[in-house]
């Protein structure tokens, strides 16, 4: 999981910016993001901007983390109702005994990748080179998967912990490659200096697992399943809007989160559009078959010691129960 780049705690209620106060009858729900707001969250802000949240009787508070541990910590302690988690953090939390459940996928394929300097055209060239990693447990697994999937020996790759400075360290030539998200750092580095190679982990042996998942505790699901269904409904509608109105959705994000670079937002969103839809062409869906493949990969590359119980770790019924998406446009 990425560490938040700045100390930001952004709280937004479920109505458009500058709109009138909502009725007291609205139910409150809190959603913590995985990172500072960016293009991967566009559907959430479109759900707010176009009143899908409000129309479902909700007042949704969207909060950006101030540290990488915030989403999992605040979810576990009940201080937020829902959180977007990196799927690897969900696996690790469940192995620690936390009954956290994924209820909706934000993206349908891994965002993890290895970004390499222009002179490294294949991961087979990485043995003997120095590769930067952030230090989170999944980084080593991603690097090993990419290198071994290309037919090289990952044990011969030198690694150094660089935190979340992949773009700066790659541009400065301090590392030959670095683990990073192709939708974020990948787009950022290409905008600064084209020519870097991006090796996506699922192009080198990893299954097409959903990298980011909306999660809740089992307690929340048991106590108020209807609240979970309404939040999932609203977010599915929002991401459906993003799929068919990407330019407008980018504007929604920028209106709620001033200061974003519009060109970078649009580049990131264009790269993400193909990965919002699931195998059945629905946003938000959780595929049990893909998740079982992911669970085996988690163990194979050492993120957890035993495969997560997919039937307990995920509840795909909420996404399956979403009515026909709201009108687009």
Note the pTM of the prediction, 2 decimals. Answer: 0.89
- pLDDT tens per residue across all 329 residues of the chain: 333 333 334 434 444 443 433 456 899 999 999 989 999 999 999 999 999 999 999 999 999 998 777 899 999 999 999 999 999 999 999 999 999 999 999 999 999 999 999 999 999 999 999 999 998 889 999 999 999 999 999 999 999 999 889 999 999 999 999 999 999 999 999 999 999 999 999 999 999 999 999 999 999 999 999 999 999 999 999 999 999 999 999 999 999 999 999 999 999 999 999 999 998 889 999 999 999 999 999 999 999 999 999 999 999 999 988 886 655 54
Residue 135 token pair: 């230090």
Q: Phi and psi (nearest 5°) for 213? A: -135, 135
Q: Phi and psi (nearest 5°) for 160? A: -140, 140
Walk me through the domains of the chain, giving residue ranges and CATH numbers: 27-107+210-320 (3.40.190.10), 112-203 (3.40.190.10)
Under 8 Å between Cβ of 53 and 61: no
């Amino acid at each position: 999981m990425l560490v938040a780049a700045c100390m930001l705690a952004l709280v937004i209620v479920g109505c458009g910016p500058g709109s009138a106060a909502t009725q007291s009858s609205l139910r409150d729900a809190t959603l913590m993001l995985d990172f500072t707001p960016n293009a991967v969250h566009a559907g959430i802000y479109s759900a707010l901007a176009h009143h899908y949240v409000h129309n479902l009787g909700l007042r949704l508070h969207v909060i950006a983390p101030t540290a990488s541990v915030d989403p999992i910590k605040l979810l576990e302690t009940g201080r937020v109702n829902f959180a977007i988690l990196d799927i690897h953090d969900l696996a690790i939390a469940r192995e620690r005994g936390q009954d956290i459940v994924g209820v909706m996928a934000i993206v349908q394929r891994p965002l993890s990748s290895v970004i390499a300097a222009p002179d490294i055209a294949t991961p087979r060239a990485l043995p003997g080179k120095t590769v930067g990693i952030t230090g989170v447990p999944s980084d080593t697994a991603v690097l090993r998967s990419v290198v071994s999937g290309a037919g090289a020996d990952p044990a011969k790759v030198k690694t150094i912990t660089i935190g979340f400075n992949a773009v700066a360290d790659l541009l400065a030539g301090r590392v030959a490659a670095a683990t990073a998200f192709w939708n974020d750092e990948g787009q950022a580095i290409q905008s600064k200096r084209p020519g870097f190679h991006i090796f996506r982990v699922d192009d080198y042996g990893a299954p097409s697992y959903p990298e980011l998942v909306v999660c809740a505790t089992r307690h929340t699901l048991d106590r108020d399943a209807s609240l979970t269904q309404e939040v999932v409904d609203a977010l599915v509608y929002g991401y459906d809007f993003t799929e068919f109105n990407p330019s407008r959705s980018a504007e929604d994000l920028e209106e709620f989160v001033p200061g974003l670079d519009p060109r970078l937002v649009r580049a990131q969103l264009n790269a993400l559009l193909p990965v919002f839809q699931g195998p059945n062409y629905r946003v938000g869906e959780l595929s049990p078959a893909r998740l079982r493949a992911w669970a085996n990969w988690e163990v194979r590359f050492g993120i957890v010691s035993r495969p997560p119980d997919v039937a307990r770790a995920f509840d795909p019924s909420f996404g399956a129960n979403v009515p026909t998406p709201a009108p687009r446009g």
